[in-house]
């Protein structure tokens, strides 16, 4: 089954404790992207990757890191989470940039 | 600047009514793509449509139709004879085409929550 898998689905953490949200796709897609969804703001792009070892900043990259060492995986790293990073996070992949995107189930992160 | 505006925060209709969700965009790119996604109460995001800025033809898919008007920078979405299962948050999104300034970047609107009552 074609899918994008994010883990964990829910996470509560404390300020400053490094965390990683994993994202994996099984469709051999080149393009992957991370978004955060906040009430009244819609989805905002954090980082994207056009292919292995090629990543770039989206609209709201501050406080986040990513890596793309393998085509299928695109983890999101919060080195020192802060309460303003409490949000719902989505990973997405697509064959190319402007084609249909497939989204993961979302990760609800709470930073206290 | 790239921007997508969905001015309707929430809309409530009764089943079988027609409803139009508005989307207005701003872009510095001369070629671009527009999208609509649906987020039902279960939370996942589902692709509905992609439209290239070169193609201004309206599109119909069952009860769904889209009206793209480059002159007014709008890409509106109409649901005909709405059903309870259409209840969801709908997002409009914008991305630059290849070789454009905003290629690879996506900009979403704030979403419109549609409530369809039986």
Is there a contact between B104 and A103 if contact means CB atoms under 8 Å apart? no
Q: Which two tokens stand for residue A14?
A: 């404390």
The sign of the dihedral angle between the CA atoms of B115, B72, A37, A93 is positive
CB contact under 8 A, B44 and A40: no
Average pLDDT score, chain B: 95
Mean per-residue pLDDT pooled into runs of 10, chain A (112 residues): 95 97 97 97 96 94 97 97 98 92 97 98
Q: How far is B101 from chain A (nearest CA, A)?
A: 13
pLDDT at B1: 77
Cβ–Cβ below 8 Å for A31 and B45: no
Contacts of B36 in chain A (CB under 8 A): none
Specify the DSSP class assigned to residue A79. S
């Amino acid at each position: 089954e074609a899918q994008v898998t994010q883990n964990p689905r829910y996470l509560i953490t404390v300020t400053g404790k490094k965390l990683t949200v994993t994202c994996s796709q099984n469709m051999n897609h080149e393009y992957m992207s991370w978004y955060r969804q906040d009430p009244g703001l819609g989805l905002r792009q954090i980082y994207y990757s056009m292919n292995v070892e090629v990543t770039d900043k989206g609209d709201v990259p501050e406080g986040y890191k990513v890596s793309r060492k393998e085509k299928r995986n695109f983890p999101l790293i919060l080195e020192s989470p802060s309460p303003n990073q409490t949000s719902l996070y989505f990973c997405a992949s697509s064959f190319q940039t402007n084609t249909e995107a497939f989204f993961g189930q979302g990760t609800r992160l709470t930073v206290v | 600047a790239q921007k997508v505006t969905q001015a309707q925060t929430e809309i409530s209709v009764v089943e079988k009514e027609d409803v139009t969700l508005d989307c207005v965009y701003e872009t510095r790119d001369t070629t671009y793509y527009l999208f609509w996604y649906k987020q039902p109460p279960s939370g996942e995001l589902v692709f509905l449509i992609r439209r290239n800025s070169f193609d201004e033809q309206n599109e119909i898919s069952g009860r769904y139709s889209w009206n793209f008007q480059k002159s007014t920078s709008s890409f509106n979405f109409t649901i005909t004879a709405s059903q309870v299962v259409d209840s969801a948050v709908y997002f409009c999104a914008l991305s630059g085409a290849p070789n454009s300034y905003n290629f690879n970047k996506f900009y979403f609107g704030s979403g419109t929550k549609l409530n369809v009552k039986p």
